Structure 1
Amino acid sequence: MRIAVTTPLGHVGHHVTTMLIRAGVRPLLLTRHPGSIPAGIDECADVVEADSRTPSDVVAATVGVDAIYWVDPPAESADPLADYARATEAIRAAVESIGIGRVVFQSSVGAEKRRGAGEIDGLAATEVALDRLGVAATHLRCGYFFTNLLFETESITAGLLQTVLPVDSPMSWVAPRDIAEVATTTLLNGDWSGRRVQAVHGPEDLTWAQVASILSEETGRNVRVEQITDEDMTQQYLAAGMPPATADAVLGMSVGLRDGFVPEQQRSLVTTTPTQLRGWIREELVPAL
């Protein structure tokens, strides 16, 4: 079975790559930066230069591919949903042109809303496009990545996290490695077909207040969290240089999952994964502080 991996340098993708290699698969890695693939990996994988937002690149790169781990790459332009639309068109073109049989798509909790969740709306559009093609597709509805805390190192060091979410509302937090494990086992399992939705919720739901407490204990810093207004958060994003549409799309991911949102997939044995936030902080966040 020929398996392709997009974003092989990403938080999840690099784990998918190494897991496939350990399973005896020689994956095909699609990347805009072939020279950045680590030494050793390039000896165990085939690497092709391709932009996941360019249909012709993806079609040319995936000839002969049976299954693909697909990630819509992070938005880079001043119109993030347009970036997601281009990525959606690229995987649609590849499935139609090449006949890729199975797609494991990295989506998000909140994509079930279809509209009103900021950048997650772009992931929802990819889900819809794949569903319309009738391809065997598993949509991984992932929780909040532990690695998002890596963008908060200055705030953690200063001892103050800010969010527009209620600080005592629990939500799913998940390690990217756990997402990769679910993605990899799904790619290697030939016994599924049709449309599937697989939530990846991490080991437990946590509130921001609980996360601040764990951060305090593991970093040795007194970290607290406060809820701020949508307007204040938007101003922070704009001050950091985000274009207005990007600021709205990023804010929308939190706002859309805030007031009365109930995930379509409830936590269960199937959706629960093992990596604890505490251990991840010790291993990956503390060295970055």
Structure 2
Amino acid sequence: MIVVTTPTGNIGQQVLTNLLEEAAPVRVVARDPTKLPEQTRGRVEVVRGSHGDADVVARAFEGADAVFWLPPPDYRTPDLAASYLDFTRPASDIFQRHQSMRVVGVSALGRGSALARKAGLVSASLAMDDLIAGTGVRYRSLALPSFMDNLLRQAAAIGSQGVFFLPLDADRRLPTCATRDIASVATRLLLDTSWSGQDSVAVLGPEDLSGDDMARIMSEVLARPIRFQSVSDEDFRMTLGRQGMSEAMVQGMAEMMLAKNSGLDNAEPRTPRADSPTSFRAWCQDVLGPAVSASKEGAATP
């Protein structure tokens, strides 16, 4: 039995789909099972509730061989560390008692870097890894850069204004990966019963790109001029605050991006194992292009 947390999230739902395509036995933890597609609900066991709740994870992990672990984003949290560590403690208590489980967790690049000591969400993710690893359970931490899919939040601006914004230097080249590749690696590890011990698995995408590089590729794929606009740390924080994020989350996001702009994600060496297949150009063709078109159609609807 494989347990999938966040089965309606961007990565979790792709992991779930992949596992069902392989006819794997799956149990999901969902606060609102009605958000699962009806055809999916009929093919999985469902445990209703939060996977940060001790009683819920006790039911969900009973008899499980493997767990896909990902805390849900809590943009209004008053305490960033608590949203990762306190949320994960009930599950870690079970991992400690059942160390034969295989756990695959979503985390971040930066382990061992001085920049990771004050990197907001990255620091919290790495602390979560340490908590899980400290249980002795078999663990694979997916060490990830920023996601290409995060740009979907700006699809409307890209479509209407021909611009996207990030708090990064225009020429800062960083790795970036597609969530479908993350889900593919996670699925492989969940299905593979042969591994043991603890390790991190980097998923870097096939190339390092700057904001200007991305704008050039977007322009070619979308057949219209797209430009990248670097924004200041102050403006980035103000934007996040206007979106309703808590002070703790704004601080965590800002610290993370400052660390990335200082090279946090560049320390991981590129190897055949770390490179993932989806290029930014392919992602723009398959994912961003349709999203931009949909945003323009939605804006035109009276």
* TM-score bin (small chain): over 0.9
Cross-structure match for 1:3: 2
1:8 partner SS: coil
1:14 partner SS: helix
Cross-structure match for 2:219: 216
Cross-structure match for 2:69: 70
Cross-structure match for 1:137: 139
Deviation, structure 1 residue 59: 1.9
2:171 partner SS: coil
Deviation, structure 1 residue 261: 2.9
Deviations 1:6-56 (CA, angstroms, capped at 9, x unpaired) = 111121111211211122212111111111111221222111112022232
Query: Quick check: 199-208 or 95-104, which moved more?
Result: 95-104
1:194-233 aligned within 5 A: 194-233=197-236
1:184 partner SS: helix
Cross-structure match for 1:42: 41
Deviation, structure 1 residue 234: 1.3
AA at the equivalent of 1:135 = V
1:190 partner SS: coil
Write the distance in 1 (CA, Å) between the matches of 2:35 and 2:239.
Answer: 32
Write the distance in 2 (CA, Å) between the matches of 1:134 and 1:213.
Answer: 46
Higher normalized helix content (fraction of residues): 2
Query: Is contact 2:141-2:201 (8 Å) kept?
Result: yes
1:162-181 aligned within 5 A: 162-181=165-184
Write the distance in 1 (CA, Å) between the matches of 2:100 and 2:58.
Answer: 10
2:9 partner SS: coil
* Residue of structure 2 aligned with 1:192, choices 195, 199, 210: 195
Deviation, structure 1 residue 202: 1.2
Deviation, structure 1 residue 224: 0.9
Provide the aligned length of Structure 1 versus Structure 2.
288
AA at the equivalent of 2:64 = V
CA RMSD of aligned residues (A): 1.8
Cross-structure match for 1:253: 256
Deviation, structure 1 residue 82: 2.1
Query: Quick check: 24-33 or 263-272, which moved more?
Result: 263-272
Write the distance in 2 (CA, Å) between the matches of 1:262 and 1:142.
Answer: 8
Cross-structure match for 1:109: 109
1:89 maps onto 2:92 in alignment: no
Deviation, structure 1 residue 191: 1.7
Write the distance in 2 (CA, Å) between the matches of 1:262 and 1:243.
Answer: 25
2:214 partner SS: helix
Write the distance in 1 (CA, Å) between the matches of 2:153 and 2:111.
Answer: 23
AA at the equivalent of 2:72 = P
Cross-structure match for 1:281: 284
Write the distance in 2 (CA, Å) between the matches of 1:53 and 1:216.
Answer: 42
Which 5+ residue runs of structure 1 have no aligned equivalent?
Answer: none
Deviations 1:127-149 (CA, angstroms, capped at 9, x unpaired) = 01012111110000012211101
1:31 maps onto 2:30 in alignment: yes
Write the distance in 2 (CA, Å) between the matches of 1:265 and 1:37.
Answer: 36
1:149 maps onto 2:151 in alignment: yes
Which 5+ residue runs of structure 2 have no aligned equivalent?
Answer: 293-302
1:243 maps onto 2:242 in alignment: no
Deviation, structure 1 residue 197: 0.8
Write the distance in 2 (CA, Å) between the matches of 1:111 and 1:239.
Answer: 31
Q: 1:82 to 1:128 in 2, by over 3 A?
A: same
AA at the equivalent of 1:198 = V
AA at the equivalent of 2:19 = L
Query: Is contact 2:69-2:104 (8 Å) kept?
Result: yes
Q: 1:107 to 1:268 in 2, by over 3 A?
A: same
Q: 1:240 to 1:194 in 2, by over 3 A?
A: same
Query: Is contact 2:95-2:101 (8 Å) kept?
Result: yes
Query: Quick check: 193-202 or 222-231, which moved more?
Result: 222-231
2:168 partner SS: coil
Percent identical among aligned pairs is 31
Query: Is contact 2:205-2:278 (8 Å) kept?
Result: yes
1:41 partner SS: helix
TM-score normalised over the length of structure 1: 0.93
1:198 partner SS: strand
Write the distance in 1 (CA, Å) between the matches of 2:192 and 2:112.
Answer: 25
Deviation, structure 1 residue 97: 4.5
Query: Is contact 1:16-1:184 (8 Å) kept?
Result: yes
